[in-house]
Structure 1
Amino acid sequence: MKKLLLAFFLIFLIGIFFLNYNYPFFTKKIGRWSVGFTFVEAPLEKPNIDEKHLISYVEVDTLLKSEGNYIADPFFIFKDKTFYLFTELKGKNNANIALFTSSNGLDYKYEGVVIDEDFHLSYPQVFRHKSEIYMLPETKQSGNVLLYKAIDFPTKWEIVDTLIRNRKLKDATILLEKNLMVAVDDHMNQLIFESDSLHGEWKESKRFDGRRGNETRPGGRFFKFQNDWYLPVQDRTYGYGSGISIYKLKESEEKISLDISEKRFLQEVPEVKWFNRGMHHLDIQQVENRYYTVYDGDRNLDGEQSFQIWRTLKYNFYDLFN
């Protein structure tokens, strides 16, 4: 009996070790987010992240003359020799969409809130289409995927279409060159939708088998490199928003897939206090003859940790599902 109990105990310990190895029970507590930016030579070149090229949450507190604010989910568009940087702006109430501008991509000026709704807004994915400028932010709390159009760029926007109705989706990320959209639901099911145009009928793709769990939630705009399309995806190995992995889009008439290309392309940067816990967003685009990238990360002030047994069990189970 003692040998049997010892065997069960050893199996239990091995199981706990395995579960903890994949997704640790203890992770650093999430802090407040800041946004960084820099130029790079190529899209898959890791950016040089330092404290000189960022907008910290402390700066945001100073700008807003209040405490407890942060910015995250940065997207940019380059127009008329100006960088327009749109971010989620979170304070005590619902998050809004804020704007920063720069003439050189290094020194930014805060321009204020440009979209304010009764529901939470984030992920301000801004893009051009047929000489117009649109934004597809996360509007999950509205119960729909809402499309905004710039009526007077960059400060005036209005809802012009509902791309997907009655679906609570997170971070819907569009690729108009392929008429595809990737999103996740509240159960971390990765979904792909297809349409014949931006304003067409978006339907869930039958060519995509789907995934569930870690590395399913989009973490930034699709980007093209050497004729292939890539999607930043959030990695949760060490807790929410602990890293960004890069997935390559593969498509045929019968099948669509997203396959891992760069595991944890971005992650915590211990030497930069603002990003010392993790990173969860990336936007990279070509600007004239160079590439420019924006990203975010958060700060753990005192090493405080969170115990997340349910997260560990859930994501290990999802890996088996996949």
Structure 2
Amino acid sequence: MIPEAHQTESVRLYEAWSFPTKWECTDALLRGHRFNDSSIFYYHGRWHAPNLGGPWQEHPRSPIIQENPHIARPAGRVVVVGDRILSFEQDCFPVYGTKVRSLEITELTPSTYREQPASRSPLFGPSWRLWTQGGMHHIDSHPLDFHQWIAAVGGGRHIGWPIPEEWQRATC
């Protein structure tokens, strides 16, 4: 597991000693910057480091995205499906975590990187449900089988925000 640890200016790797309640930090993969929402993934036989423990190096194209509040901040774990790599990004316009978008990484080598939108529209965003009214900011998806997936998502509602009339429903 790699939890958010930007306050420590590191990307920390944790191992489960007694899943899901006991975890231990086994390594700091990167140090020296405020890394936000880090995600690593295994693709074509590599972690983009000699092994999971590193040494890790910043990709020569990093930072990949700058000054685009619609896709510059990750929104969860990168998912590899066959030869496809899907990345989820927070749409932080006009505020943090308004929506979640998906991108497909179409080229990834130790020296190159390319991506394109995986869908035209955001995957999800604010809705009439109380816990999503302030927006949606994370997804962690897992395949159940070839055609079905399950996902945990993160949303929020700012205390005191009124419920917009168009989001109100009498029943679910």
Q: Which residue of 1 aligns with 2:93?
A: 237
Shift of 1:226: 5.8
Unaligned regions of 5+ residues in structure 1, if any? Answer: 1-134, 181-193, 305-322
- Counterparts of 1:212-223 in structure 2, within 5 Å, are 212-213=66-67, 214=69, 215-223=71-79
Is 1:287 matched with 2:153?
Answer: no
Displacement of 1:173 in angstroms is 0.6
Specify the alignment match of 2:49 in structure 1. Answer: 195
Q: In structure 1, which of residues 124, 146, 149 is the aligned counterpart of residue 12 of structure 2?
A: 146
Q: Does 1:299 align with 2:122?
A: no
- Structure 2 counterpart of 1:143, one-letter code: E
Higher percent of residues as helix: 1
CA distance in 2, matches of 1:176, 1:276: 34
Structure 1 residue 259 and structure 2 residue 116: aligned?
yes
Deviation at 1:259, TM superposition (A): 2.1
Find the aligned partners of 1:177 and 1:226 in 2 and give their Cα distance.
Answer: 10
Could you report, residue by residue, the CA deviation over 1:124-168 in whole angstroms, capped at 9, with x for unpaired residues?
xxxxxxxxxxx1111111122111111122211111111012222
Q: Structure 2 counterpart of 1:158, which letter?
A: E
SS in 2 for 1:274: helix
Shift of 1:260: 2.0
| Counterpart amino acid of residue 287 in structure 1 | L
CA RMSD of aligned residues (A): 2.2
Is there any run of 5+ residues in structure 2 with no aligned partner, and where?
164-172
Amino acid aligned to 2:144: V
- Match for residue 37 of structure 2? 171
- Distance in 1, matches of 2:9 and 2:108, equals 31
CA distance in 2, matches of 1:248, 1:162: 28
CA distance, structure 2, for counterparts of residue 161 and residue 141 of structure 1: 16
Q: 1 or 2, which has the higher strand percentage?
A: 1
String of CA shifts for 1:257-279, please: whole Å, max 9, x gaps.
2322224221111x212212210
Determine what percentage of the aligned residue pairs are the same residue.
26
Q: Distance in 1 between matches of 2:145 and 2:108?
A: 32
Q: Which residue of 2 aligns with 1:249?
A: 105
Alpha-carbon shift at residue 202 of structure 1 (Å): 0.6
The letter of the residue matching 1:240 is Y
Aligned residues: 156
* Distance in 2 of aligned mates of 1:240 and 1:201: 32
User: Whose Rg is larger?
Assistant: 1
160 and 226 in structure 1: CA distance in 2 versus 1, 3 angstrom threshold: closer
